[in-house]
Amino acid sequence: MSFSQQQLKEQVAKAAVDYILPLLTPESIVGVGTGSTADLFIDELAKHKDKFKATVASSERSTQRLAQHGISVLNLNDVQSMVVYVDGADEINPLLQMIKGGGGALTREKIVASVAEQFVCIVDESKLVDQLGAFTLPIEVLPMALQSVSRKMVALGGVAKQREGFITDNGNPIIDVGGFSLADARELEGKINDIPGVVCCGFFALSPATVALVSTQEGIKILT
Ligand code: 5RP
C-alpha cells in the first residue's frame, strides 16, 4: 500500500511540529506559511499552542486558520525576532532553493521568512526536483507594470501569463512565467528583483530554506 499525496502532506506537517518543538519557549514567535501543507501544519501546531507565545502569518488565509484554532497572530511590525518559519513550496532543489507562490502568497512569505532564524520547508516528494522551473514562476507586480514586466520576462526567455481572476492579499496581480530551467536560480532572482514594478518573484534562491523535511513513501527525509 502506498500513501496518497494528502497522507504524505499530513505526515510532513506532523514531522514539522516534532522538528520545531525543541526550539520553542513560551516566548517564541513562529512564522507560518501558506498553502495546503501549511494548513495541515497549522492544525498540528494547534495541539501545542501552550508551547509558544504567538505566530506571524504569511496570508489572510493562514491568519484565519490560526485564529480559528485560538492561536494568537501578531503583526510583523510588532515582532523583533522569530525562531522559525515553516512553509511549503511548489518546487525545491538539492540546494534547498525553491519556487513558491502557487498560492499567491509569495511576497508576505518572503518577508516573514526573512525575519526568522531558520526556514523549515515542508513538502511531499513530488516537490523535490533536480532543477527549478517545471513549475511556472509566480511574480507579483504592481498593476501598472503588468505589461512592462511581462515584456521583460519574454526578453529573459520566459513565457508570461497573467493569473486569471487573482489578486494577492496586497492588492496586486500575479504573472506566471514558464520556460526557465535552472540549476541555480540566484542570478535570475536578482535580475527579476531589479525590474521596476516587480513586487516579489517566487524564486527563494538567494535565501534558500535552512532545512527541508520531505515526506516520501519510505518516511520523512531531512535535507540540509
Ligand atoms: C503559497 C506557496 C505554497 O507554499 C506552495 O504553493 C505550496 O502549496 P501546497 O502546500 O498547497 O502544495 O508558496 O504561496
DSSP the chain: ----HHHHHHHHHHHHHHHHGGG--TT-EEEE--SHHHHHHHHHHGGGGGGSSEEEESSHHHHHHHHHTT--B--GGG-S-BSEEEE--SEE-TT--EE--TTS-HHHHHHHHHHBS-EEEEEEGGGB-SSB-SSPEEEEE-GGGHHHHHHHHHHTT-EEEEPTT---TTS--EEEEE---BS--HHHHHHHHTSTTEEEESEE-SS--SEEEEEETTEEEEE-
Alpha carbon of 149 to ligand 1 centroid (Å): 23
Q: How many CA atoms lie within 13 A of 71 on its CB side?
A: 29
Amino acid making up residue 52: F
Catalytic residue annotation? 109
Average per-residue pLDDT in the chain? Answer: 97
- pLDDT more than 90, % of the chain: 97
CB count in 10 Å sphere of residue 26: 8
Q: Name residues contacting ligand 1 (CB within 6 A).
A: 33-37, 87-90, 100-106, 109
Alpha carbon of 36 to ligand 1 centroid (Å): 7
Alpha carbon of 105 to ligand 1 centroid (Å): 8
Mutate to test the pocket of ligand 1, among 11, 34, 108, 109 (most ligand atoms within 8 A of CB): 34
Residues in the chain: 224
Q: Annotated binding residue at 90?
A: yes
Q: Annotated binding residue at 36?
A: yes
Encode pLDDT of 75-87 as tens digits: 999 999 999 999 9
Predicted confidence (pLDDT) at residue 183 exceeds the cutoff of 90:
no
Looking from the CA of residue 9, the nearest atom of ligand 1 is 10
At 50, is the pLDDT very low, low, confident or very high (cuts 50, 70, 90)? very high
Alpha carbon of 204 to ligand 1 centroid (Å): 13
CB count in 10 Å sphere of residue 161: 14
**For range 126-153, the mean pLDDT:** 97
**Does the ipTM exceed 0.85?**
yes
| Grid cell locating 179 | 520556460
Residue 3 is predicted with a pLDDT of 97
pTM strictly above 0.95: yes
Looking from the CA of residue 102, the nearest atom of ligand 1 is 6
Separation of first and last alpha carbons in the chain: 29
**For range 218-224, the mean pLDDT:** 98
| Grid cell locating 193 | 528583483
Q: Annotated binding residue at 34?
A: yes
Which of the two residues, 134 and 182, has the higher pLDDT score? 134
Q: Annotated binding residue at 127?
A: yes
Residue 43 is predicted with a pLDDT of 98
Q: How far apart are CA 171 and CA 174, in angstroms?
A: 10
Looking from the CA of residue 100, the nearest atom of ligand 1 is 13
